[in-house]
Amino acid sequence: MRWQPGTRSPDLEDGRGARGGGGFGFGGMRLGLGGFVILLILSFVFKKNFFALLDGGSGAPSAGVTENAPPAQTSPQEEKLADFVSFVLDDVQKTWDTVLPQAGAQYKHAKLHLFRDAVRSGCGVAEAAMGPFYCPVDGKVYIDLGFYDQLRSRFGAPGDFAQAYVIAHEIGHRVQDVLGIAERVHRAQEQNPGAANELSVRMELQADCLAGVWAHSTAQRQVLESGDVEEGLAAAAAVGDDRIQKQATGRVRPEGFTHGSSAQRVEWFRRGMQSGKVASCDTFGRS
């Protein structure tokens, strides 16, 4: 991508100096991933921080997680990556400032929080192993920059546009939040738990398509360089459920999909990239 380091985005929060905690810890309790997801859905649906109940209602940080962290010790390479993340964050959100009103809504910026190892979000304490995520409770995207090393080495998706795709996908969840799509889906999941995974897949594929809408704008503005499109498509394919399952267990279980197959993720990212329109991202209206 064509970009230049500049002033860090006002929407970027740097918490890399904080000390991470050991997993999902709440008021001395440890919470599994399933419990984390359930509390996340309840918090979103009822507009109440259910994680605070596990902290005795205080909402105070769990032990081992430091807020208002001092500056982190970093390398020049890591700082360049943080500059790139800042650039992409601003570019994606400025695009939605323009595009979303055409779909009848006003975009509201998300914050992006950089962390290391573990972080206390509005959705509770999360470890870096979860990967980047968007928390609808506090309206923030969270990412440990170390994820990009995994994206390159473990998932085989190198390149700066692959890295940009990850941010654009998470901001896609913010767009769903603003449009009210996320709330409707979470309510449907609560009413029909048997369809929860299918609805999750449709949500994730739509976020891929919305990332593609942003990618379309970068092509129009001549921000892309040779090979960038291929990097983005490779990243979408790399994080498909079928590929991750096969890598982890040696077999594929479609009934366990939550994000979509590699082919589906590539298809929807490409669809958004080709059209540049939110209307093309109706993953819920298609079989």
- The domain segmentation of the chain, as residue ranges, is 12-285
Spatial contact of 239 and 177, defined as CB atoms under 8 Å apart: no
For strands 111-115 and 12-14, give the pairing: parallel
32 or 80, which is more confident: 80
What's the one-letter identity of residue 209?
C
pTM to 2 decimals? 0.82
What's the one-letter identity of residue 93?
Q
pLDDT digits (tens, 9 = 90+) for 132-162: 999 999 999 999 999 999 999 988 898 999 9
DSSP string for residues in 111-165 = EEEEESSEEEETTEEEEGGG-SEEETTTTEEEEETTHHHHHHHTS---SHHHHHH
Spatial contact of 55 and 27, defined as CB atoms under 8 Å apart: yes
Residue-level pLDDT at 285: 87
The whole-number average pLDDT for the span 167-177 is 97
Task: Report how far Cα 36 is from the mean position of its chain's Cα atoms.
Answer: 16
Write the CB contacts of 220 (distance below 8 Å, at least 6 apart in sequence). 276
Count CA atoms closer than 13 A to 15's CA, side-chain side.
Answer: 26
Nearest-CA neighbor of 91 among 179, 220, 263, 188?
A: 220
Nearest-CA neighbor of 34 among 156, 112, 124, 134?
A: 124
**Mean pLDDT lowest for which of 45-49, 119-123, 207-211?**
45-49
Residue-level pLDDT at 5: 85
Crossing angle of helices 33-46 and 181-191, in 10° steps, is 120
Residue 67 has pLDDT above 60, yes or no: no
pLDDT digits (tens, 9 = 90+) for 175-234: 999 999 999 999 999 999 999 999 999 999 999 999 999 999 999 999 999 999 999 999
Nearest-CA neighbor of 126 among 137, 142, 113, 149?
A: 142
Residue 63 has pLDDT above 80, yes or no: no
Residue where the block lists tokens 């498909």 = 240
